[in-house]
Structure formats: C-alpha cells, structure tokens
C-alpha cells in the first residue's frame, strides 16, 4: 500500500529519504519484490503516480505500461522484479478503497491462496519476515493471519479472500482490514512477533530521525 494523505508528515512522506539514502517507497518496493509475494500490486495516489511516471528511475523502475482492459492499472519492471501499479483516485476515502482497488487488478486464481495486505511506511520490515508470514499462512490457508507485537496488531495481514470476499468488497473508511478482524475474532490467527518491524511506521519527520544508526 502506498496510497495516503501524509497529513501528519506534511509532504509526500513516501518520497522521503531514509538514512541509507533510499526513499521510503523505494525500500518498500524492494523488500516486497524480494519476497515471494506474487503478483505484487502497489496502490498509489494520483499525485504519486504522476511523480513516478515522470521519474521512474528513483524507484529503479525501468518500464511502466498500461494493462489491457485496466482502469488506471499498469505493469512495471524494476531491478528487483515485476509487479503491478494501480492508481486509486478515491484515496481520500481511506485505506479500504486502496485495498479494493488493488483487488480489482488481480485475477480470481491469484487470490485463491490468500490476499496479503501490507504498508509502504514500515521501514524495519524485511523480506524474510514477509516470507515467514506467507509460509505460516499457507500451512493452513484459512481465516486471517495477524502479526502481533507487544499486543499491537501489525502488518502484513493475510486473509482468505474466498472466505471474506464480501467483507473486503464492502469495507469503508480508513480502517483497512481491522473491521473484519474485530468482526471475526474466531477466524484470526495471531502470530506473536519479537520485533516492532511489523508495527513501527513513519508518521512524521521525527520518526525518520529515530532511524539514524539502525540497520535497515
């Protein structure tokens, strides 16, 4: 997920540079493409899509082309692999609209093994952690897999799309899958996690400063 208002940050936070020199969005793209997610769909706001289309190199994207029959959907190629980009014109309606936009550019068979929802502003999340959650879910691909750190729910969240299709289509606002999690506690498989990589996100410039000296 890369679509949002960045209201607390004061600017397009996903374009901010991390201490490593990478932009926040660039790092997120890299670690998700280096995982076993297939296919990867990134959902962006119209403004961010315009910036990316004018300067693809800063995300290491070498090619961006419209998908056939798609409404603001694109295929892209980067140094880390291929993926899809969807532009969410309704991003002001919250993360729920971004999830639904991403789902629309997936084929039915691509959703059969589960839908993974992640965020682009998790600077500590690593590819191997994403793969751990994917493998954990695939051992019994039902219900909802939810990473938890210090009693706080995190991301990525993996959900059985077939089981919760109607719920996903009908969620609204800036709550994402949280409302489905609360509505179906018996279906939730919590995975206690030893690191705040699944919960610690970037909200403001002070958060970026806290990353100094950390291994990203």
Q: Work out whether strand 188-192 and strand 61-66 pair parallel, antiparallel, or are unpaired.
A: unpaired
Q: What percent of the chain has pLDDT over 90?
A: 62
**25 found inside a domain:** yes
**83 found inside a domain:** yes
Position 112 confidence tier, pLDDT thresholds 50, 70, 90: confident
Q: What's the mean pLDDT when you consider all of the chain?
A: 88
CA 63 vs CA 36, 54, 57, 58, 147: distances in Å = 21, 12, 9, 12, 34
Q: Across-strand partners of 23? A: 17
Nearest-angstrom CA–CA distance, 97 and 90: 7
Nearest-angstrom CA–CA distance, 110 and 177: 19
**48 found inside a domain:** yes
**29 found inside a domain:** yes
Provide the residue range defining the domain that includes 85: 13-209
Position 148 confidence tier, pLDDT thresholds 50, 70, 90: very high
User: How many domains does one find in the chain?
Assistant: 1
**190 found inside a domain:** yes
pTM: 0.90
Q: Residues near 58 by Cβ (< 8 Å), separated by ≥ 6?
A: 23, 26
**1 found inside a domain:** no
| pLDDT confidence of residue 8 | 38
* CATH code for the domain in which residue 20 is found: 3.90.550.10
| pLDDT confidence of residue 198 | 97
Over range 112-122, report the average pLDDT. Answer: 93
| pLDDT confidence of residue 113 | 87
């Amino acid at each position: 997920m890369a679509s949002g208002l960045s209201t607390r940050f004061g600017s397009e936070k996903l374009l901010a540079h991390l201490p490593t020199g990478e932009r926040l969005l660039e790092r997120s793209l890299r670690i998700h493409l280096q995982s076993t997610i297939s296919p990867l769909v990134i959902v962006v706001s119209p403004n961010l899509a315009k910036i990316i289309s004018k300067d693809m190199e800063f995300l290491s994207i070498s090619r961006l082309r419209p998908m056939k029959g798609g409404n603001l959907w694109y295929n892209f190629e980067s140094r880390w692999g291929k993926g899809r980009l969807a532009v969410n014109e309704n991003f002001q309606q919250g993360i729920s609209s971004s999830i639904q936009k991403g789902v629309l550019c997936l084929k039915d068979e691509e959703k059969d093994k589960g839908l993974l929802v992640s965020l682009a502003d998790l600077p500590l999340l690593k590819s191997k952690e994403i793969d751990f959650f994917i493998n954990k879910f695939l051992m019994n691909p039902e219900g909802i897999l939810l990473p938890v750190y210090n009693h706080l729910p995190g991301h990525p969240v993996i959900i059985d799309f077939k089981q919760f299709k109607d719920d996903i289509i009908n969620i609204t606002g800036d709550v994402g899958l949280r409302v489905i999690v609360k509505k179906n506690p018996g279906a939730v498989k919590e995975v206690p996690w030893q690191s705040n990589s699944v919960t610690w996100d970037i909200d403001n410039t002070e958060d970026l400063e806290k990353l100094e000296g950390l291994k990203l």
